[in-house]
Chains A and B, each alone.
Chain A
């Protein structure tokens, strides 16, 4: 069965510091992988997605993620965090041919000024 694990519930970084949010998935074949961001009181917005091709994916707001099949990981990175990046981040996995995307439990990011 598909599953997604985000091991970090909370992460705090200083503004300008680099960021890496971890995501591990379980799926037999190559999955669809997504990162979404949710600001307080808002819906989820897609940051980036991966299905095939280049394993380093660029997204919006300066985010990128790298698909590592050997580690079953799809970690999200940003070289320099801005205060406006404070939000909750969700990793999601989906199987080809289905819309049953599974979301991780989320990582809440706090940014210190």
Chain B
């Protein structure tokens, strides 16, 4: 089975440009998460969705960040305008609600460098 698929794997852009990161969750999973990983702050939860609806976006750093999930198989994280401090690895993860302990399945991440 395919895992969580993220694109692009690497993105280098200049300050002020718009960046769009994409994620395809595991088929059938009903939760989707966006995390950001940096050396300074570790793994931070930005936002998560349940059945395509945003549940908690309190981790989104500022209005420059936005996330959407138009359908069960696709989500985007957009940064506009981008800044050098947004440089990080962005992970998408998905999960299936059920009984017991719920595991997150992570994609391989999108490494963003803003010059």
B115 to chain A, nearest CB (A): 21
Question: Nearest B residue to A90 by beta-carbon distance?
Answer: B43
* Contact across chains for A105 and B91 when beta carbons are under 8 A apart: no
Q: Is A42 an interface residue, CB under 8 A from the partner?
A: yes
**Chain A interface residue number, banded:** 20 to 34
* Contact across chains for B45 and A100 when beta carbons are under 8 A apart: yes
**Chain B interface residue number, banded:** 20 to 34
- Residues on the B chain within 8 Å of A46, using CB: 103-105
Supposing A44-B91, A90-B43 touch, asked if A100 and B56 sit within 8 A by C-beta, the answer is: yes
Which residues of A from 81 to 99 have beta carbons under 8 Å from B? 90, 99
- Residues on the B chain within 8 Å of A32, using CB: 101-102
* CB-defined A-B contacts under 8 Å, sample of 10: A34-B103, A43-B91, A43-B93, A43-B106, A51-B100, A99-B31, A99-B33, A99-B95, A100-B48, A101-B104
Which residues of A does B touch, CB under 8 Å?
32, 34, 36, 41-46, 49-51, 90, 99-101, 103-106
